[in-house]
Amino acid sequence: MVARNKSQAHKRRSNGRSAGPSAFGWFARGLALAALLWIGGFILFIFTLPGPAADGTTTDGVAVLTGGPGRLDRGVEVLKAGLAQRMLVSGVHPSVRPEELAEAAHIPAKLASCKVDLGFKADSTRTNADEVAAWVARNRFHSIRLVTAAYHMPRAKAEVEAKLPPDVMVVSDGVRAGLPLWSMLVEYAKMQASWLLLRVRPAG
């Protein structure tokens, strides 16, 4: 009888230990859930990329971030249509002369000389934001149209808005650009890293 009771107690203890997942099991489940959330977020990112600004949208200025086809053309189109007072081209290579850029972008000399500003210091999205913020402050603008690739817009807009006063409106104008899946994954990861950094580093 005593042996039977000991055996039953041992079974109850064994059943109690195996009733739930181990620490490793909980870790694996958490990892799987995080992966599912990350993949779901990436799918949402792909299907919610911003397109062009609405027709007729006007802003004080238009800021073009270099780095891909179609961006400068879009900025010039906006400027020629009178939808912005001035245009900043941020991230221009130091070796590029203003007249060369104007010729390549088919900007009339008169327009280029009085309404186009070139930024030569930016070499990343974060320094693009610094360049745009300084330009907005110099011109005392209250609204800007931000032109960059659609896939780059979420990160770029977040960086730019973090540098601007809260009363400055930023209008997204995304330029469609094909990108391999791997590159889109990298951009999505960069966007998440940027989102986290913007919450732990000073805005200035």
Distance CA 111, CA 38 (A): 46
Alpha helix positions (H), 81-180: 98-104, 109-115, 125-139, 153-163
Answer yes or no: is pLDDT of 35 > 90: no
| Residue 2 confidence (pLDDT) | 45
Question: Sorting pLDDT into bands at 50, 70 and 90, what band is 3?
Answer: very low
- Answer whether 175's CB lies under 8 Å from 70's CB: yes
Which pLDDT tens digit goes with each residue over 99-108?
999 998 889 8
Is the model's pLDDT at 110 over the cut of 70?
yes
The predicted model gives 4-9 an average pLDDT of 50
Q: How far is CA 167 from CA 36, 84, 136, 155, 195, in A?
A: 37, 18, 12, 20, 21
165 and 137 Cβ atoms separated by less than 8 Å: no
CATH topology of domain 61-198: Rossmann fold (3.40.50)
Which pTM does this prediction carry? 0.79
